[in-house]
Amino acid sequence: MTTTLVRKAVGVTSLALVAATVVMGLFVTPPDVVQGNLARLLYVHPPVAWVAYLAYGVTSIASGLYLWRPTRSLKWDRIAVASAEVGVVFTGLTLVTGSIWGRPAWGVWWTWDARLTTTAILFVLYLGYLALRRIPLSPETRAKRSAVAALIAFIDVPIVHESVVWWRTLHQGATVATLGANTKVHGIMAWTLLLGFIAFTMVYIWMAMVRYRVETMSAEIEAHQLEAWEAERMAEADTSDAAIGRLLDPGTRAPDEVPTDQGVAPR
Amino acid sequence: MNPYVTAGYSAVLVTLAVYAAWLVIKSARLRRAILKAGSTEAGGRA
């Protein structure tokens, strides 16, 4: 009951914060001196990219906790998949919003720049993680293999983040990390960016909570179906045993077999 | 409004709205299925 209330509160708050970000980003903040109105895209692009990092961070922590014997529980596996799926959605949005910004700013929708390429690899790696989970296996085997895959995929996250430092890239360097006392960003622009980060983080929390619930209920239904299937097979096995018993010992009749004088059942 | 800005915001909002709707619908369906299974079991036992 408390969880439901928390989930609802997070949902309503995130909706309000996203609405506020959109209003601030589109109508309240001034246009940028260099980029003009195009800079408004930057109130959503870095926040969605941050959420993707956060989601994969949670997935790798949960995967590590599953692999570590003292904390091994399928709960961690469900948290890992819930967070990874939301992360894939946000990585897709990072690529799309970046591409939409890149067309007018750089003149191309896509370029094999280090930041863009490593982000695309990240997207494919976690799509692979989700595909791996579709292989029919026992929950424990699936959880173990997925956890290993998630930890391997996470290696790309620091590479994506540092790509603008390690290689000469078209993509700009770290901007948010350099926001400080000497920054020349207009106050309301910086606050709107911060609002965007908080809003999309709240959206991530809500989505991960609901996705976790979906995963838990799916596991419950799967277990229930397995029990029903086992019960059915057991009943079938009992019927077969009884039939074999009658074949081996013809004196024994099933209750529904009515004996007749001529051995022919009456019409 | 700059068309690229409109496209960017629309992509984010529409994608998140569709994914959120899918999550809510899926969650409600599973909940119904669990409740139905529970009531069938209770009926069977009675």
Residue A146, domain CATH = 1.20.120
Q: Which domain holds residue B21?
A: 1-46
Residue A257 lies in a domain: no
- How many angstroms separate the CA atoms of A134 and A110, rounded? 31
Beta bridge partners, A32, equal: A36
Cα A127 to the chain's mean position, in Å?
10
| DSSP SS3 for A8 | helix
Average per-residue pLDDT for chain A: 88
Q: pLDDT tens, A48-74? A: 999 999 999 999 999 999 999 999 999
Residue A267: predicted pLDDT: 46
**Structural contact between residues A156 and A124, judged by C-beta atoms closer than 8 angstroms:** no
* Cα–Cα distance, A112 to A117 (Å, whole number): 6
Domain of residue A133, residue span: 2-222
Whether residue A217 is contained in a domain is answered as yes
Strand partners, A36: A32
> Distance (Å, rounded) from C-alpha A84 to C-alpha A260?
68
Mean pLDDT over A150-163 rounds to 94
The stretch A167-195 carries a mean pLDDT of: 76
Digit-coded pLDDT (tens) for A67-87: 999 999 999 999 999 999 999
Q: How many domains does chain B have?
A: 1
- Look at chain A and report how many structural domains it folds into: 1
- Asked if residue A221 has pLDDT above 70, the reply is yes
- Radius of gyration in angstroms for the set of CA atoms belonging to chain A, rounded to a whole number: 29
* In a domain? residue A23: yes
Is position A151 within any domain? yes
Q: Is residue A265 helix, strand or coil?
A: coil
Least confident of A84-88, A94-98, A224-228: A224-228
Partner-chain contact B31 A38, CB within 8 Å: no
Report residue A239's pLDDT band, with 50, 70 and 90 as the boundaries: confident
- Compute the residue count for chain A: 267
Residue type, A211: R
- In chain A, residues with a C-beta closer than 8 Å to the C-beta of B15 are 89, 92-93, 96
Question: Considering the domain boundaries, does residue A264 fall inside one?
Answer: no
If pLDDT is split at 50, 70 and 90, which confidence band does A15 have?
A: very high
Chain A residues 172-231 with a CB less than 8 Å from chain B: 203, 206-207, 210-211, 213-214, 217-218, 220-221, 224
DSSP state, residue A32: B
| Residue A74 within any structural domain of the chain | yes
- Inside any domain, residue A34: yes
Cβ–Cβ of B34/A44 closer than 8 Å? no
**Of B2, B5, B20, Cβ closest to residue A207:** B20
Position A121 in a domain: yes
Q: State how far residue A96 is from chain B, nearest Cα, in angstroms.
A: 8
Of A142, A162, A154, the residue nearest A215 (C-alpha): A142
Q: Do B27 and A214 touch (CB under 8 A)?
A: yes
Q: Is the dihedral of CA A8, A10, A13, A14 positive or negative?
A: negative
Tell which A residues from 2 to 31 touch B, by Cβ distance under 8 Å. Answer: 18, 22, 25-26
Say how far apart CA A40 and CA A25 lie, in whole Å. Answer: 6
